[in-house]
Amino acid sequence: MNFPAFLPLLAGALLLAQPPAATAANPPAAPAATPAKAAISRIDPTFWWVGMKNPKLQLLVHGPGIGSSTVALRYAGVTLDGVQKLESPDYLIVNLTISPAAQPGKLNLEFQGTRKVKYSYELRARTTPGDKTKVQGVTSADFVYLLMPDRFANGDPKNDNIKGMRAPAVARDSMYARHGGDLKGVEQHFDYLKELGVTAIWPTPVVENDMPKASYHGYALTDYYNVDRRYGTNEDYVRFVRNAHQSGLKVIHDVVLNHMGSKNYLFLEQPAADWFHQWPSFTRSNFRDAAFNDPYAADSDRKLYGDGWFDTTMPDLNQANPLVATYVIQNFIWWVEYTGLDGYRIDTYPYSDRNFLMQWGEAVASEFPQLGMFGETWVQGNGQQAFFARNILPPVNGFKSNLPGVTDFQSQYAINEALTKDAGWTDGIAKLYYALQGDWMYEDPMRNVVFLDNHDLSRFYSVIGEDLAKYKMGLAWLLTTRGIPQLYYGTEVLMKNYSNPDGLVREDFPGGWASDTKNYFTAAGRTGPAGEAFSYVSKLANYRKTHPALHSGKLMQFIPQDGVYAYFRYSDAGTVMVLMNSNKDEKPVDMSRFAERLNGFSTATEVTSGATLANLKSVQLPARTAWVLELKK
């Protein structure tokens, strides 16, 4: 969610939302200490585990007047390292060390203030170590399906309206209201996703977003430790992940490090002013990621980029505060151990504090080395994008990224230009070549996520002028180039529209609601071009799944000539050649140019059509066509 392009989707919603109860200019005043009994409203993390690699645990305790309490405990293997008072008298930090000898059970904490209060804190046994069905990771062998749960399918109408939530009503005629989709709705269509060839599901954030307006997208979280009740319960999410795994599908959890929603209890009643970036009046980020590593950047530009807020309703976290950093790190370790999810997509990755990013990445990877992780890097230029992934570049301003992969916006820009502009020396289809030429900077570019569109961008089918031939070229590239392919929900059935001005790129998937007149989840409902598109994606995605050369093999590309781009994916298991003609006319292709990869092969089968190519010396490549050729000796 990069704000400049995302702004049209928020028009009339977040930007026009009612101002938060407290703003950066006027943070809420700390309430006076309560002399009465100190009741505990919650402790974060809500529970923890024995046997974690990091034995340290920071508890954030919240309750009226709890900050004046002393703490005592007796539990074998657990040591109280001390407490820390905060600005607000209603918070207290409790620091523990959980030794390897500690056993699961109930840890009784005694808080002594005006009166004694006992709290039974649960320590659980870990389940992820040794269980190969959990935390499977995300690799280039996967095909990721990005969906917005609220807009995909309504599996449980009973959770549409939740009493007490700030925006409880469902209004499908409003793009900024809740529409009623939920976890159960997604789960009911696991078979559809498997038929399509999908191996991993990426829902936009499922944690609570109890905001008055535009809460459906999930990027303004109001509770770090609870699933939004309109999607289901925490237990429902655990079952969702387990059932996905049993169905052969992985789950990627979308997380936000940089900010939260203004109705989060941590902002409504701030533990301390330095938990957030405070300004004399509301100050928005300049959204200029170049300031992060510009050697000539003004300090004011760099500060505005990292410390400015995304919006009036999205308070910016001060991750340079070690208490905040630990709170966030523990939360995202908690979700992995609790659910067994397989990967993290990190929203607005470059906006966070640089030292925190390195600390967060190291802490999560230390506990779960197999976890897949990729960050949103909506930036310009190969070098800038590589800077935010594990790379061969020197550190800049003390930052050296440890993030395995990124969302590959550079190749996304390139495929869109390849299909909408005429070929030139560096223009049109040549952009694809140069996008991948920059891979020398990455530790492993195969960990990058390639895509055609997403929830913040105009839909691919609209961008290419609703041209089915160009559509097939784009999908052929997506499923044969290097990296982890990601498809945005509905792209497979030609859903269309633009992000500006009305945000219709987030329409409901046809058939996800009982009242829908169209149902694209069924073959009978996918008539005409939508059915043709689905079949094309399904055939190529399922082929990719069973042919390691396409998802794990090496890549060799040839400099585009005369509007034709050729590249190979190859391994000991086989070789696939991809030929793309971006021209309006048929083009002859002299195949002798590719002899170093064609040597030893005599024929080929075009994967999507089944046609045989008997002559590999010279071919006539139809206009605006991509051939995916399985080479044969």
Strands 91-98 and 56-62: antiparallel
Structure-token pair, residue 156: 């449980």
Sheet of 564-571, strands arranged across? 554-561, 564-571, 574-581, 625-632, 603-606, 612-613
Q: Where are the beta strands (DSSP E) in 15-115?
A: 42-44, 48-50, 56-62, 70-73, 78-85, 91-98, 105-112
Q: At what angle do helices 468-478 and 529-546 cross, to 10 degrees?
A: 20
Q: What does the DSSP 8-state code read for residue 158?
A: G
Ranges assigned E (strand) in 356-453: 372-375, 405-406, 449-451
| CA atoms of 377 and 375, how far apart (whole Å) | 6
Query: Under DSSP, is residue 78 helix (H, G, I), strand (E, B) or coil?
Result: strand
Give the tokens for residue 407.
């969302």
Q: What share of the chain is helix, strand, coil (3-state, %, to 5)?
A: 30, 25, 45
Task: Let me know: does 449 contact 422? Beta carbons within 8 Å.
Answer: no
Based on the residue annotation, tell me whether 453 is a catalytic residue of this protein. no
272 CB-contact burial (10 Å; exposed 0-12 / middle 13-18 / buried 19+): middle
Active site residue 376: yes
Nearest to 560 by CA among 415, 433, 410, 412: 433
C-alpha distances (whole Å) from 139 to each of 194, 370, 482 are 17, 10, 11
Strand arrangement, sheet containing 70-73? 48-50, 116-125, 105-112, 70-73
Catalytic residue among 182, 289, 342, 347: 347
Q: Phi/psi of residue 280, each to 5°?
A: -60, -35
The catalytically annotated residue of 142, 223, 376, 492 is 376
Paired tokens of 446? 């195969």
**Calpha distance 230→180 (Å, rounded):** 7
Q: What is the DSSP string of 512-552?
A: SSTT-S--TTSTTT--THHHHHHHHHHHHHHHHHH-HHHHH
Planar angle of CA 385, 391, 396, nearest 5 degrees: 75
52 alpha-carbon distance from chain centroid: 25
Question: Any idea which residues carry the catalytic annotation?
Answer: 347, 376
